Structure 1
């Protein structure tokens, strides 16, 4: 019978004033979530006892009215009632959502000790969970030790406290000491394995689940599926999933998330379709995972379909789904749609703001990112470390120092400069402006940086062409004896050596690569070959390649060596290496054919280059040409005077032409004296990049070579009128 019907019967019978009957009505209203009705009954009670007060405190805490629950608890004590373990447990649960929850929890602990229920299993479990929720694991262990007769619920509470604080090994030790387990024990224990990465212990737990006949419990099986997915054992995870008797939405979400983590869109879509066929409806987690996968794969078509499904199921305003929608639209290039969706949202949290700011950051729209950042602060939302990282990522040009300094000042004011995520983003932004000293000052203020932060910082300086600064940072990194360079840092430093042709430093880094045992890592080996080749040491590049190529099945390493041969004009060696690739059954990539056609271009082997380009398109390889492939083919044809054929390639290729491909044609026109096509190419370049100094100079030279001196002068005048200045070239040598 619904509580309202019961209440009506009691009023009709004149029994509403009976305390025992009213208490039962209070409990009934509280358990069904009708807290307002329960309060009405409570206010009308002529006589209240401990049960009446406890029922209201418990109902308020359970219904999310924490402040009301704590207020009622205080009123109960002031009315002369000593709280029992149930009232204390409910009050402790209410402190979890309070601003000063820890202080209130400590006071309640004192009350528990005073009334003598500190050692009660029910109150003790609530005490230790209160401490665990505030990150005070040692105090939680103290509360656990005070419990006189620890029941299964108490052990499970301690397990949950360990897991929620990332204390996986402590949780595993607790499981070993337990004499009896239930489904909550196994769920927490498997989560502990996820924290520690102890998959062997997880398998033992799986054996215990089977032995103790907990396989019918869906929640236990769900967490086992999650564990196997995170361990990379997809087949085992799916085998466990298939054994789940009653698959719920969480079961399907676990599998979908497992495949989505590896961006396996085919498996994800298959599972999503199976979920719908099974009659299980997607929830906000399902839709969020699907939308974020669409964002990662930049699949706007599928993403919009999932968004439509979210709208049909009534989740379009759900904050978790809304955040994923903004992420999907931004990453799929629909930034205006993302902005429109964001503006029309009725509710936003900090993640919503961060997603939209990060969307602007993807496209380096720093002004829009700053506008949104200021709006966020005006709306009273407090920026977190991810907000600052998103804003700082938008600064990719060196002409916005004022905005950058404002963000830096806000970070200093909030006092989070020492957080590595924030400091790393700041240093990356400083690299954009070339502010090496400012970056070093931030590093000094941050204190000890971890390996990932060092890698990000060094990569940021490389990205902005600060090659010598990269070498200085690397020396600073190695100055701490505790730091050991990983393969990514070593590859980054070698790329800096390649960019600046620093042969001596390249050899120094090579010796470090050998000492640290990274010689056979494909990323480092490729960077090493590239660095030696660009420093002019083709023999050293060949030697470094030979040291690792025999045991490597990596096409990237071969592509790097092919490019080295092509740049050094060693056409025979390049073709021979391509044959070695075929014998090793390595699948060529677009970069393979870029290197080969480029080598043919350097030697003027037009027919050979065209054959190689056709081979790339053949059924044997079926490779879709990239920009670089078309650019090398146009360069090959233009250099040898096949200008009209090169122009036809530009016009028929499925990609929209870009300035450099027209520049290749223009250079060919100048070499072979075709003024008409040269002017056409120059016009195309200037329509795309009006400030291109090279286009004006090349156009002037085309006219001059054809004897049209007045037109050459006109081209120079046009350059001056448009305030385009020629960047002076320079060379450097290492001494």
Structure 2
């Protein structure tokens, strides 16, 4: 009783006072300790029980396997499995389902599979454990395959089966299978099960079926606080803030009490929606209801304020937390990383280290990002040493951060050394290595790595294929592109939007616009905005503005909503052919027809188009009126237009603005010098050259290359 109401110490005192203890009392105290989060204590009591000569039953072993899963105690879990076999409990279905759960939560799905296959008779609990295990480890297809097999064998599905099956649908992104299961729920009259309906709603949200999810929510008769939390978690688009506030008001009106998880979700959603005003209102309720000291709530507050750019408030929240744990510290470090204040993130880490707070894997992953983003190589090496010393070197994403860091520092040998460590050559490591090389411009090394991957017999995933195609595009590697494209088709990735757009882009940048169009046609049926944008930009770069406009029309016929990137592509196409009126109309249509606020890139394209085509006063007017402060590239566009059209006065003014921002930029001097020389003002041109020499500004040499077959 005491352990169930959370007063474990009283239960332990009574247990210690017992003169005669039987298996039942030992099992109760072990289970109570584990349920109260005292897993080490639970395992210690279990060992005392074994030493006393008592033989555990299935409930004892079930509790112990649960503790092993929670603690990540893989070796201890293996011993428990071996002991169960030794005492003849390998056919006990409760034990089997517990062992399946344990292996899945420990990430060893292979061992779970072997246990499952060896069993002749399985009950619904074992089937559910295997389905849930696959879903837990990210194997959505296998989870759904087991669901289908379960139906074929005539095993009756219960509410746990459906909950796990929906997790499999979410992992795999299989909305159609999820809809079939939804129909099965209606047919089986399981709509009264709150846990099933919660899982269904969650599946719809995770598969971009927001409106279907909300329909399920509105139809639910027995909503619990989890139902409301899932509904709040589904809001992620602009304009959802109002809906979220209305829904929260409904929760209060029906007398449902929000919990700390509710506020954690709401605050993080406010951060994602960049709605600090709504976040402050939820903050006031947090204080009023006494949830501020909950770790997940205070962490969510720090996250919300940092995402909204109010870092002062984020630090104030952090400073107000009385009992800071590593989660709170991690959130603050991540917040500084998010707003690119990497030096501040390093200072917070140093404070953490000096206070003796024990860093975890998430701390090291975040601080490594701060090190390589701010170029602090020395601290990066010191943190690498601490990672190795504290035993975190085996964590995949920490190694990924180390690889990215060393590549960004230009220390390729160090990154190769980490990559080549024993047990490191998995597909994820290949992907991280290639992505880092591409991001830092080491494209030839990335291509060589890809070829080594293929020779090793590994099959690349969509991320690796996307990375190598980006490298091919960057170096105009036409033959390599032609060799990768058939592999994309062979592996079935030609309709994966990320890979498909990379193929289109690679062919275009290699000069083969027909190859781009072929790849675009192969992706038919995807109806993805990114693919249309890539094809429009491909035509634009080749000066084929009519074809680019045709793709834009085709996109509208497919009922696809254009994005800001779409208009960057289409206005660039108009720019190449001098269709200024058409480009201006398209820019205006963004806000008038599509209610899209133009981004800095959209304004940059408009100014470049006006400047190149001689509409210099209009370009200057756009710069003066746009809702963003000007940036160097937009001044370069105007200055370049002044050079083309010989506007010396405006060119001098634009050059002054550009040099004020980037005094050492060679483009401003070179373009202004050309404005003077092309206007026969040789003295002024020579003066600019002398200023460049005096200030040590040199023009970066241009270069070109050809591919030798």
Alignment TM-score, normalising by the size of structure 1:
0.77
Deviations 1:303-328 (A, max 9, x none): 23222222222222321101011111
Deviating more after overlay: 583-592 vs 557-566: 583-592
Aligned equivalent of 1:108, options 45, 48, 51 = 48
1:440 aligns with 2:381: no
Question: Conserved in 1, the CA contact under 8 Å of 2:236 and 2:272?
Answer: no
- Give the corresponding residue for 1:473: 449
Q: CA deviation at 1:626?
A: 2.3
2:300 corresponds, among 324, 329, 335, to 324
The CA distance in 2 between the partners of 1:486 and 1:356, in whole Å, is 34
Mapped pair 1:536 → 2:476: no
The alignment partner of 2:309 has SS state of coil
Instruction: State how 1:412-431 maps to structure 2 within 5 Å.
Output: 412-431=388-407
Tell me what 2:124 maps to.
175
**Shift of residue 139 of structure 1?**
6.2
Matches within 5 A, 1:109-508: 109-110=49-50, 113-114=53-54, 118-119=56-57, 173-175=122-124, 192-193=164-165, 215=192, 247-257=223-233, 268-397=244-373, 399-445=375-421, 447-481=423-457, 483-508=458-483
Q: 1:598 aligns with which of 572, 578, 583?
A: 572
What is the alpha-carbon distance in structure 1 between the residues aligned to residue 341 and residue 673 of structure 2? 35
Is the contact made by 1:389 and 1:421 (CA closer than 8 Å) also made in structure 2?
yes
Q: Which runs of 5+ in 1 are unaligned?
A: 1-57, 179-184
Aligned partner of 1:514 in structure 2 is 489
Q: Which deviations, in whole Å up to 9, do the C-alpha atoms of 1:409-453 show, x marking residues without a partner?
A: 111111221221111111111221122221111111152454444
Counterparts of 1:274 and 1:451, CA distance in 2? 47
SS of match in other structure, 1:394: helix
Q: How far apart, in 2, do the equivalents of 1:458 and 1:320 lie?
A: 35
Give the stretch that moved more between structures: 634-643 or 185-194. Answer: 185-194
Give the corresponding residue for 2:141: none
Q: Is the 8 A contact 1:609 1:633 kept in 2?
A: yes
Tell whether the 8 Å contact from 1:218 to 1:248 is kept in structure 2 after alignment: yes
Residue aligning to 1:638? 611
What's 2:706 paired with?
733
Offset of residue 674 of structure 1: 2.0
2:499 maps to: 524
How much has 1:485 moved relative to structure 2?
2.0
Query: In the alignment, what sits opposite 2:644?
Result: 671
Q: Distance in 1 between the 2:178 and 2:570 partners?
A: 46
Which of 602, 622, 644 is matched with 1:629 structurally?
602
8 Å Cα contact 2:237/2:273 also seen in 1: no
Are the structure 2 counterparts of residues 151 and 228 from structure 1 closer, same or farther at C-alpha, using a change threshold of 3 Å?
Answer: farther
Mapped pair 1:568 → 2:542: yes
Which blocks of at least 5 consecutive residues in structure 2 are unaligned? Answer: 128-156, 170-176
Separation of aligned partners in 2, 1:144 and 1:255: 44
Bigger mean CA offset, 352-361 vs 693-702: 693-702
Alignment partners' CA distance in 2, 1:411 and 1:127: 30
94-103 vs 434-443, which moves further: 94-103
SS in 2 for 1:317: coil
For residues 389 and 127 of structure 1, the distance between their equivalents in structure 2, rounded to whole angstroms, comes to 31
SS of 1:445's equivalent? Answer: coil
- The 8 Å contact of residues 610 and 619 in structure 2, kept in 1 or not, is answered as yes
- Are 2:333 and 2:345, in contact at CA under 8 Å, matched by a contact in 1? yes
- Partner residue, 1:607: 581
Instruction: Report the counterpart of residue 92 of structure 1 in structure 2.
Output: 30
- Between 132-141 and 530-539, report the one with greater CA deviation: 132-141
Partner of 2:151: none
Question: Which deviates further from its counterpart, 491-500 or 90-99?
Answer: 90-99
1:333 and 1:310 map into 2 onto residues whose CA distance is: 21
1:559 aligns with 2:559: no
Give the greater-gyration-radius structure (CA). Answer: 1
Separation in 2, partners of 1:616, 1:229: 28
Change (3 A) 1:194 1:548: closer
User: In the alignment, what sits opposite 2:665?
Assistant: 692
Deviation at 1:111, TM superposition (A): 5.6
Over 3 Å counting, the alpha-carbon distance change for 1:263 and 1:71 in structure 2 is farther
Distance 1:516 1:603, change over 3 A: same
Distance of 2:198 and 2:592 partners within structure 1: 47
CA distance in 1, matches of 2:208, 2:529: 25
Q: Which moved more, 1:403-412 or 1:88-97?
A: 88-97
Q: Following TM superposition, by how much is the alpha carbon of 1:137 offset from its aligned partner in structure 2, in angstroms?
A: 5.4
Q: Is the 8 A contact 1:206 1:224 kept in 2?
A: no
Q: Could you say what secondary structure the match of 1:408 adopts?
A: helix
How far off is 1:344 after superposition?
Answer: 2.7
The residue that corresponds to 2:655 in the other structure is: 682
The CA deviation string for residues 112-143 of structure 1, in whole angstroms up to 9 with x for no partner, is: 644xx745x87676666566655555666766
Q: Compute the displacement of 1:624 (Å).
A: 2.9
- Cα 1:520–1:118 change in 2 (3 A) is closer
Contact 2:616/2:638 (CA < 8 Å) preserved in 1? yes
Q: Secondary structure at the match of 1:355?
A: helix
Question: In 2, Cα distance between the equivalents of 1:559 and 1:295?
Answer: 28
TM-fit CA distance, 1:695: 1.8
Report SS of the residue matched to 2:256: coil
2:21 equivalent among 78, 83, 87: 83
Cα distance in structure 2, aligned partners of 1:228 and 1:670: 55
Contact 1:92 1:130 in 2 (8 A): no
Cα distance in 2 for partners of 1:515, 1:402 equals 45
1:268 positional shift = 4.2
Q: Is the contact made by 2:31 and 2:60 (CA closer than 8 Å) also made in structure 1?
A: no
Please state how far the C-alpha of 1:579 moved relative to its aligned partner.
Answer: 4.1
Partner residue of 1:4? none
TM-score (norm. length: structure 2): 0.80
- Distance verdict in 2 for CA 1:345–1:729, change over 3 Å: farther
What residue in structure 2 maps to residue 6 of structure 1?
none
Deviation string, structure 1 residues 166-195 (Cα, Å, up to 9, x no partner): 8898899443589xxxxxx97766665566
SS at match of 2:420: helix
Q: How many residues align?
A: 657
Provide the C-alpha distance between the structure 2 equivalents of 1:132 and 1:609, rounded to a whole number of angstroms.
60
Q: How far does the alpha carbon of each residue in 1:382-407 deviate from its partner, in whole angstroms, 9 at most, with x for none? A: 22211111112224547421111111
Cα distance in 2 for partners of 1:126, 1:583 equals 59
Between the aligned partners of 2:514 and 2:264, the Cα distance in structure 1 is 53
Distance 2:324 2:233 in 1: 24
Q: Which moved more, 1:648-657 or 1:248-257?
A: 248-257
